[in-house]
Amino acid sequence: MSIGPEKATRRVVIIVLDGVGIGAMPDAHEYGDEDSNTLAHTAQAVGGLNAPHLKEMGLGRLAPIEGIPPDPTPTASWGTMLERSKGKDTITGHWEMCGLITEHSFPTYPNGFPQEVINAFERAIGRKVLGNYPASGTEIIKQLGEEHMRTGRPIVYTSADSVFQIAAHEEIIPLEELYEMCRKAREILTGKHNVARVIARPFTGKPGNFRRTENRHDFSVRPPSPTILDALCSAGFEVVGIGKIHDIFAGQGLSHSISASNNQQVIEGTLEALEREIPGLIFANLVDFDMLYGHRNDPQGFAYGLEEFDKHIPEIQDSMRPDDLLILTADHGVDPTTPSTDHSREMVPLLVWGHKIHRVDLGVRSTFADIAATVAEVFGLNPWRVGSSFAKEILDPSSN
């Protein structure tokens, strides 16, 4: 593969395995996450992972993972990445891999939101709220769902992450009304209360048997400066966001989005985007690891999700052209074996596959932004302002 004329037709596919960290960051103790290792602990908890295609790509070379030994001749280049930004949020991780370093963590609210925020929100929506404390989303609807149905008051809660979450039964507060509440909250939460995400958390069912639906919607803060997505669009390339990518970037830097609510839909959306054969970036987020398994401390489900994704890797690879690149990575950890149900401050895997690439050890990268720097070089853009490209390590050096 060369960096040259092919850039006009090439595609890069980035698939983020949301929450699939691979060991505590050097500063993890500052976040209470020094014992976290999402991949290794999940594998250990289930007696070993069965993920032959991830093994072939070189995942076992990154860390001791039960069931995934180091492959002697991996089919991909392999490495790990450290996070330079502050925090361990989904937005922080995705923004960094797109070349935007977050110098200050987004605000969190371990004691709930201050009364000034709640008062402003209640005035904006014309009704009182329930809750206003950190909680698991499934637990808080168990605790307050029946009162919510009786009073019509939305449930407001947060977590260890920078989120303002609003839960409502779809038969009590219709989806569009819930989304409008979130838009009003987003307008209020600025300045020192500029949380990373306002999240609509609809649910259905009867007391004692509530369940969250897939109609979740995130209202994220906009990136404060351009990312590699914006640069690609400006250069005339297509940037397709699949799943929650649109929400993470508030639609900024995307030329097209494909809606998807779970891993299977995201995989289908990725294959759909590959069929378009339009040059540019396909950017997908596999949400189930984080949303369904990590936050619910379910290592068995987490392992199942990894093994199911593994089965689709050949299908994705077969849909790629000779000069395309596939990058598998993650945005943070969410170790399902620790007492915490929140994100963990972890390194992330980096597996880079292509039909023609050199298979090399990419080492420990100092920032997720190395992905942005690499994408910029692959597409012939100006060197990115942060990060170090690994394009020359994996591509034909004669064309550089």
Supply the pLDDT for residue 341: 87
DSSP 22-66: -SB-TTGGGGT-TT--HHHHHHHHTT----HHHHHHTGGGTS-BT
DSSP-derived letter for residue 221 is P
Identify which of 97, 160, 162 has the alpha carbon closest to the alpha carbon of residue 372: 97
Nearest 10 degrees: Cα torsion 88, 94, 95, 98: 140
Per-residue CA distances from 287 to 254, 356, 366, 374 (Å): 19, 29, 25, 24
What domains, with CATH codes, occur in the chain?
5-104+222-399 (3.40.720.10), 115-219 (3.30.70.1250)
Supply the pLDDT for residue 399: 41
Q: Which residue has the tokens 């395995």?
A: 17
Residue type, 246: H
Please identify every stretch of the chain with a pLDDT value under 70, giving residue numbers as ranges. Answer: 1-9, 397-400
Per-residue CA distances from 207 to 128, 133, 143, 147 (Å): 21, 21, 9, 9
pTM, two decimals, is 0.89
Supply the pLDDT for residue 8: 57
The string of pLDDT tens digits covering residues 294-337 is 989 999 999 999 999 999 999 999 999 999 999 999 999 999 99
Class of residue 44 by CB neighbours under 10 A (exposed 0-12, middle 13-18, buried 19+): middle
Residue type, 390: F
The string of pLDDT tens digits covering residues 376-393 is 999 999 999 999 999 999
Is-contact 90 248, C-beta < 8 A?
A: yes
Q: Which residue has the tokens 């991949």?
A: 39
